[in-house]
Structure 1
Amino acid sequence: MDLWWLFWLFLIISSLQPVLRQNMLESARLKALRALERKRKSRVITLIHRQETMGFLGFPLVRYIDIDDSEAVLRAIKMTDDDVPIDLILHTPGGLVVAAEQIAYALKKHPAKVTVFVPHYAMSGGTLIALAADEVVMDENAVLGPVDPQIGQQPAASILKVLERKPIAEVDDETIILADVAEKAIRQVKRVVKTLLEGRLPGDKVEEIATRLATGEFTHDYPITVDEARELGLTVSTEMPAEVYEIMALYPQTAQRRPSVEYIPSPRTKEGEPPRFRNGSSRT
């Protein structure tokens, strides 16, 4: 075998390696999902958005909740019997309101228990989806976010402030139109939140939560911690199954030339040794 054939063999192996790696990763994900489903006797769905890279050019692509996501989640719910609980693992910065609403309403209608797991964050539309669950399970350091609508690049609530603080004669027509759209958007999102929470909380508490989350009381990227979520009146647990973290590890961030966070990926004790199980055996 001459150098020319070695060169072509190297190219073939190099081109197949990413495909094989991806197939192995997908197989590991399915195995982990099946294991969690067997343990909880539920349908497990993941809605996980990571920053991805576009093809060979390497441009970063940030993922959001979109119509494709809502179609896939709705199909999964349709394929689930009414007496089977649904567990949704949610990790997202938000996305299209219409897609998030579709997912939330479908979860709300499911007769069996719906649990949303938030291992890191579920902002904006992600929070809207979480509000549809019977129970929200968050990591103790995870966060939710406000669901106030955005008009273009501007918060709807801030657009309305312009009309409050300036005489109408000094406001241009485009801003007046945007303010009209902003008012409708806030009213619509607030109604969605109330619909999702009705029947699980007292009416006055539902009104309070809808007002605080949808009307611009916070900035759109404000992190709502576990304690704050509970203060709002949401049913939040921190009993996160270990399997959820294992599944999250199978959705790695796009590889970079130099990682921004590095650590030795093993449990750490004060003595520097692997923690031991109750029967005395060590974990490796």
Structure 2
Amino acid sequence: MEDLLRPIYQERASQSNTLGILMIEKRNPISPNTDKFDVILLMIVKELEDSLFVKHYELQDKKAALFIVEESKLNEWVMLGTNRRIIDWLTNGKVLFDRNEFIYNLRERLDEFPIEERKMKIGLEFAKLIRRYLEGKDFFDSKHSLDAYNHIVHSLHHLARLSVIEHGFHPELTVWNQVKQIEPQIYKLYQELIEGNESIDKRIELLFLASEFLIHTRTQIGAQHMIEILKTKTDVWSYNDMIHHPELSKYSVDLSVMLEYLVEKKMIQVAKIETKGTGVYHRRYIVI
């Protein structure tokens, strides 16, 4: 397969813009890891006009896909988890080209999982967990059991990913295999939800209670990243300040719900600033 692909990547490998090239082969007949293609070529470059370029090929009886990705986009995938396959691709792909040990150093970074990157990923995952939990609770209280079930499954998945990150690992596609070894308590909750003998409402109710406790025990570590950023200035923050901060903006739609959760937990204080309107105030935020 590598010989068939060589004409596709060889010319690009000689370009100074190219940092590294990996080949990821399909593991089984139905392989979501490669989008059912026989092989993926992942080419990492310094700069790219659209940050990502994808091209599909057919070689004899094989299908291949070429992903050319800008380094900044790759880092975004790794940090935000927006491409769940990327950790596996980077870790297990066969190195075809490596300029100045770029891929080697990248793998070292992934393996070490620096504490600053870990704190950010924990914060992002915790925010997603809070949103899913609260939305699921609202559905359950409104007697929409199936929607509540869907959200509690997703909240458990975020809890599982959070646990894996806490232990210094990147969550993989097979996150439940990781959690089974790392934190059996969360794995057992998941099993009880999908395999339990009680009614669906009873299972959901029990899971919400258990999740509430597990969320509470993780609030300090889950909020650490956001709190540390907010402490970088002694003055109050507006919400607009937050959504334009390079790191806080990564929380995206989950930033608001995370902020309100921390206000409720009295980790962040609301400061009311008078406006021209009587009884109307600007809402500002500061770490207590």
TM (norm. structure 2) is 0.28
The higher relative CO (CA closer than 8 Å, separation ≥ 6) is in 1
TM (norm. structure 1) is 0.28
Greater per-residue helix proportion: 2
Greater per-residue strand proportion: 2
